[in-house]
Each structure stands twice: as structure tokens, then as C-alpha cells.
Amino acid sequence: MSLEPFRSSDDYAAAYKASVENPELFWADISSHLKWQKPWDKVLQWDFTKPDINWFVGGKLNITENCLDRHLESRGDHTALIWEANEPKEKAKKYTYRQLHAEVCKFANVLKKNGIVKGDRVCLYMPMIPELAIATLACARIGAIHSVVFAGFSAQSVADRINDSNCKMVVTSDGLNRGAKQMSLKKLVDEALEQTTSVEKVIVFNHLDWDPEMKSGRDLWWHKEMADVSFWCPAEEMDSEDPLFILYTSGSTGKPKGVVHTCGGYSVYAEYSFKNVFQVQKDDIYWCTADIGWITGHTYLLYAPLMSGITTLMFEGVPTYPDAGRFWSVIDKHRVTLFYTAPTAIRALMACGLDHVLSYNLHTLRVLGTVGEPINEEAWHWYNMHVGKERCPIVDTWWQTETGGIMISAIAGLTPSKPSHAGLPLPGIQPVLLNGEGKEIEANNEEGYLAIKFPWPSMIRTTWGDHERCRLTYFSTYKNYYFTGDGAKRDENGLYRIIGRVDDVINVSGHRFGTAEIENAINQNKGVIESAVVGYPHDIKGQGIYAFVICDKLPENQEHVREEIYETVSSQIGRIAKPDKIQFVSGLPKTRSGKIMRRILRKVAEGEISALGDTSTLLDPTVVEEIIAGKL
Ligand code: WT7
């Protein structure tokens, strides 16, 4: 039943060629390795202009049968999940496939018992504990649409997301551990629910023994609910195009949008891309350090490794607790073979010196991966030399929440891995570079806007509740292409190097924020009249957040107002979106039509003052001088 990854560069080339020449035949073959409840009638029907994208039309399946049930017979006693706690002293928890299957079925029954049916939305706002994995899979088991909200987001963000998709239930915990700190979650849920009306039940996992207030009739304890349910629950029959989950992500305008992924194509592509990129072997112990609250956690911590039948490791803590050797100690402790992390984590650990990493053996490692942002050459070499000991191929995987799975990446050990280059597209993926007029750039050694010209199974289908927004954001900039929002360059050998976003989105430590979203939060602060936010290069985070703020009068105590702004941003979005620098200004560079010229602010924030370009079209060029003089 298993799908064997290709094992040579020729296999890759042949697969790529086949996938472009006859995509339907290609994906028909790949999809046949999954367990379908009913075979599909047609592989693909599509129209990018609407967009209307249908993969494996008429097919029925349940992703949890592919993650769990299909392994029970052959490897039911194999470890599916290892959980490493925040505290190194705490014993790791392990679940075999059989145990995980039972827990998922039990929680699926809890969902059902509390009125959740196929198609209902369930918000999961939880720490990185096994129960988050179990709750996510339990939703999929019964066809409820999960919307996982990263536990670093604020009560306001949770409320917005619950309201956008009318979630009927929230699953949370009393609190969470984050290194030396602990934080409440249930309290934030209570706050969020003051602004919502759709939520009927809240299930609370007791993680820290905190004894939070429980609202009678609404709030239920996880352990009590789990006490008397059956450990068998049939897998709901899901259409290929039924939604599997919603995941909110920021764009250049407005509130975060709910990216919708569907059951069939997502399952097929998650498993295929994972097995090939990481060259998975059946006894691999794989660790993806991403939180399940992001797409990387969905696809490559949870679904793909379980579909592949290997062991996936989940870590509650942070890379620097109790010290900067924690990642390496966990790798040795659990004999991790495949390791997938973010460049920002590598840079942060790099800054802590070599002693930590050199005190561990790391000899079980076979493949290293990165994701989320461009990796600079220095970090790439450090990772290669000190973590991989120059014997582990590095895969720099480019993809997005919207793409569902890895699009451009080296295939570990088979296709070229060049520092700061994602590499070649995966089979089935047809990237193009477009020029300013939307024409395809054929030549190599050129730079352009990165777009995709043919559908792939795990692509975004819609944005929840607002299909037009999906069309406008991704399918209208260039007709008949999916537009990524990234700029890229193709080298002389056709390897792609991702340059970064070309829209008003900034990527902070691999997390995406719209500048407008942060500005809206800053503007809610008393005394703030207007603000403009741009990204600037940051040694550890990749991009830092630089805010230019106009107040009604220049604050006497700037530190005080800065603190207030941090507070507002933390409560509106979450502490992860706090600006790194706040400069108070008396005006912003605007065109005569009133549009803020971000290009100029970006240059100032980057410190490239000599390259400001033409400022003659500005309404008031003198504000630029003031801004330069006050640069932080
Ligand atoms: C944006 C997507 C997909 C996982 C996590 C981020 C940037 C992602 C890379 C990479 C250069 C990268 C892009 C992309 N990005 N991976 N390997 N090299 N840039 O998901 O929050 O949806 O962000 O992250 O700019 O558009 P996301």
C-alpha cells in the first residue's frame, strides 16, 4: 500500500516530465496509493479565472484512515507520535499507531456527543501537546472542519477567526508552557467568547492543573468527556472536494483570510511531497519544529508523516530552553533522522555560539530541511557544517499556506541543493517567472514575479466565506496564473531562488503579517493619528517590524507611548506581531493623491538612505529629511 519515493535524479526527471506531459495520468497513478472509500471519476477539472478547482472528482476518502487505519495491520505497534515536553526532565510521551487511532476515535466521539457534525467548524486553540494532534485528527475523522489558531495569537484574533467561520466549538487548555514562562489560554478564550455568539461548547484540557473558571453548560473538561466514550469511531465519508480545514493567514489587505484546503488533493500531495523531498524510509524518526498552528505543522508535522507511517515528534518548548542546546539534545535523545526547522531558529542558535551544538553527537541525522523564509548563506553553511556534519543533504523548501505543500525544493540527496536556493519544482508543479506585463520570462538568470501556471492537488480552493477575495488575491493579478506574491530568480541551471514578498506582507521569523493589519492595531492606540509599517532586515528574525507613527503631538515620554503601542498590538494580534522599532514622526511621505510611499520608508528602515530614488512626486519632500534624521 505504500508509495515508494523516487530514489535517483533520473527518477525525478522522469517523474517531472511525466507530470507535465500528462498531469491527469501522473496524478491518477500517485493517488492510487491512498485508501479511497470510493474511487474518483475524473482526476481534474479546473478554471483559474473563477477559480474553480476540482481534483479527484467524485472520489470519497477520509484522511484519518490514511493516517491511522491503514497502518494498523502492518505497523500498529510502531510509534506514531513522540511528545517531548517543555521541561527536559519530564518523561516523553509515546503513542503507537494503535493508541493514537484509539485516542482520535475517542475524541471524535466526544465531538459527536457534543453536537458536532460533518461540516461544522471547530476552533482549536491549544499548546503543542498530543491533544492538539488528537483533536485535529478527530475533527477530520468526523468531517468537522478544523480551524487551528496558533496559541500565540490574542483573544481578539481568536474572536475574529471564530466569527469569520462561525465555529460551533472551541478546544483549548488551561494554559501553556513556553520555556521558563507559562501563559493562560482558557482566560483568553473566555475573553474571545464575549465577542462571539456561535460557540456552544468549550472543551478544556487540563495541562497545568490551573483550575480555571468553567462556565456551566458551556465548558467541559477533556478528561471527563473522554472517560466514557468508545475507542472506535467510523471514518466519515468525505468527498474529495469537501473542506478539510481552514487556516487563517495574513495578506496585504484587510483581516486575515481563511485559506480552505480540501480532502482529496491535500491528502495526495501531502504524502507525495513529503516522502520524496525528505526521501523517507520506514524507520525514520522525523521532527518538524513548527507549531501545528501554522501550515507547516498541519502538513508536515501531522498529516504527511502519519500518512507515511513513520514516527513524528512534537515538541512543546522553545529552542533556547533550558539552554540553546535543546534542539540538539532532543535529536540525540530520540535519535531523530529527519529534521525540519526554520532559518530564524538556526540563526538564533547560531548566535549562541558553537559550544551547544558541538556537545551533541547528532549522528542519527540523515536529512535537514528549512522552511518559511529565505535562508542566508551563513546560516545554511552553519547548519550544514555543525548540525549535518557535512553529510546530510539540506532541503530548502519553498511553499505557502495557500499551496498546502512543498512546491520548490531539492529532493534530498538527488537534486541540487545550493545555498539560499530552494531549487527545482516538484513533479506536478509548473512555476513561471512573469515580468511586469505578465509575460513569461523564458530565459534563465532572470528575475521576476513567481506564479504557477497549472493546478496542483493541494492548492487553495477558496477563502472561507469570500470566494471573490480568493480570486482577487491570487488569480486576478495575472490571468490564468496563480500568483504567489513572491519575487524569484532562476539561476543558469533553472534553480529558483526566492527573493521575498513583493506585496505589503512581511515575514517575521517565518510568520506572515500584513502591514495593514499591524497599522490597524497601532492606530487603535490613543493619541495615534496614523502609522506606516514596513519590514527591514533583521539578523535573527529575517525581517523586523519598523513602525513610523504620527501622534496628535510628539510624545514627551516616547518609551511610555511605545509600551502602550506594544500592548495594543499584543492584544489586537498577538505578541508575535510587536514592532521592533517605533519611530515617532510628524508626517509620512505621501504622493499628491495621498498614498503612503512605502518604498521610501522601506529604504530608510533598511538604512539605504542614499538610494531613496525620486522623491519629487511627494506632497511634502521635507518630511523625508525629518524621517532620515530620526531613524532608529
Ligand atoms: C511565504 C509563505 C510554507 C511554510 C511556512 C510559511 C516565504 C516560505 C520559503 C523558502 C524563501 C520562503 C515566502 C512565501 N517562504 N518558504 N524556503 N524560501 N521564502 O508559510 O506563512 O504561508 O508564508 O513564506 O515569502 O510566500 P506562509
User: For residues 339 and 367, is the Cβ–Cβ distance under 8 A?
Assistant: yes
d(CA 121, CA 486): 31
> What's the CATH code, domain 61-441?
3.40.50.12780
Provide the phi-psi class of 140: left if phi over 0, else alpha when psi is between -120 and 50, else beta.
Answer: alpha
Q: Which residue owns the Cα nearest ligand 1 atom 2?
A: 400
Q: How far is CA 306 from CA 235, 458, 502, in A?
A: 16, 17, 35
Q: Give the distance between the most distant pair of CA atoms in the chain.
A: 73
- Report how far ligand 1's centroid is from the alpha carbon of 401 (Å): 8
* Residue ranges of domains in the chain: 61-441, 505-629
| Residue 319 Cα to ligand 1 middle (Å) | 20
The C-alpha cell 482558557 sits at 186
User: For residue 401, which atom of ligand 1 is closest to its CA?
Assistant: 22
Q: What pLDDT does residue 573 have?
A: 95
Q: Which residue is closest in CA terms to ligand 1's atom 5?
A: 372
Report d(CA 171, CA 32) in Å as an integer: 34
Nearest to 206 by CA among 183, 174, 176: 174
Per DSSP, the residues of 187-230 read HHHHHHHTT-SS--EEEEE-SS-------TTTEEEHHHHHTT--
Q: Judge whether residue 615 has pLDDT over 80.
A: no
- Dihedral pair phi/psi, residue 514, rounded to 5°: -85, 140
Residues in a beta bridge with 462: 260
Would the pLDDT of 2 be above 50?
A: no
Ligand 1: distance of its center to the CA of 373 in Å?
Answer: 5
Q: Residue 1 — very low, low, confident or very high, per pLDDT cuts 50/70/90?
A: very low
Residue 255: per-residue pLDDT = 87
What's the pLDDT at 16? 97
pLDDT for 146 equals 98
Q: Rounded to whole angstroms, how far apart are CA atoms 111 and 169?
A: 9
Strand, helix or coil for residue 149: coil
Residue 401 has what pLDDT?
98
pLDDT digits (tens, 9 = 90+) for 38-62: 999 999 999 999 999 999 999 999 9
Mean pLDDT in residue range 353-372 = 97
- Cβ atoms of 519 and 532 closer than 8 Å: yes
C-alpha 416 – ligand 1 centre gap (Å): 20
May I ask the CATH class of domain 505-629? Answer: alpha beta
Q: What single letter denotes the amino acid at residue 453? A: K
From 377, 399, 401, the mutation candidate for ligand 1 (largest count of ligand atoms within 8 A of CB) is 399
**Residue 540 CB coordination number (10 Å):** 16
**Nearest atom of ligand 1 to the alpha carbon of 511:** 21
Choose among 8, 17, 15: nearest CA to 29.
Answer: 15
Amino acid at 83: W
Task: Output the CA 511–ligand 1 centroid distance in Å.
Answer: 8
Single pTM value for the model: 0.96
Pocket of ligand 1 (CB under 6 A): 249, 294-296, 371-374, 396-401, 422, 484-486, 498, 500-501, 507, 510, 512
Gap between the Cα atoms of 167 and 570, Å rounded: 23
Given the CA of residue 375, which atom of ligand 1 is nearest to it? Answer: 18
Tell me the Ramachandran region of residue 617: left when phi exceeds 0, alpha when psi lies from -120 to 50, beta otherwise: alpha
What confidence category does residue 620 fall into, taking pLDDT thresholds of 50, 70 and 90? confident
Q: Percent of the chain beyond pLDDT 90? A: 92
Per-residue pLDDT, 613: 75
The label of the residue with cell 533556547 reads 320
Of the candidates 67, 468, 460, 510, the residue with the CA atom closest to the CA atom of residue 246:
460
d(C-alpha 123, C-alpha 146), whole Å: 6
- Give the tens place of pLDDT for each residue, 544-562: 999 999 999 888 999 999 9
- How close is the Cα of 603 to the center of ligand 1, in Å? 23
pLDDT at 71 (0 to 100): 98
User: What proportion of the chain, given as a percentage, has pLDDT over 70?
Assistant: 100
Using the mean position of ligand 1's atoms as its centre, give its distance from the Cα of residue 374 in Å: 8
Residue in 407, 507, 508, 509 to alter for ligand 1 test, most ligand atoms within 8 A of Cβ: 507
119 CA to middle of ligand 1, Å?
Answer: 29
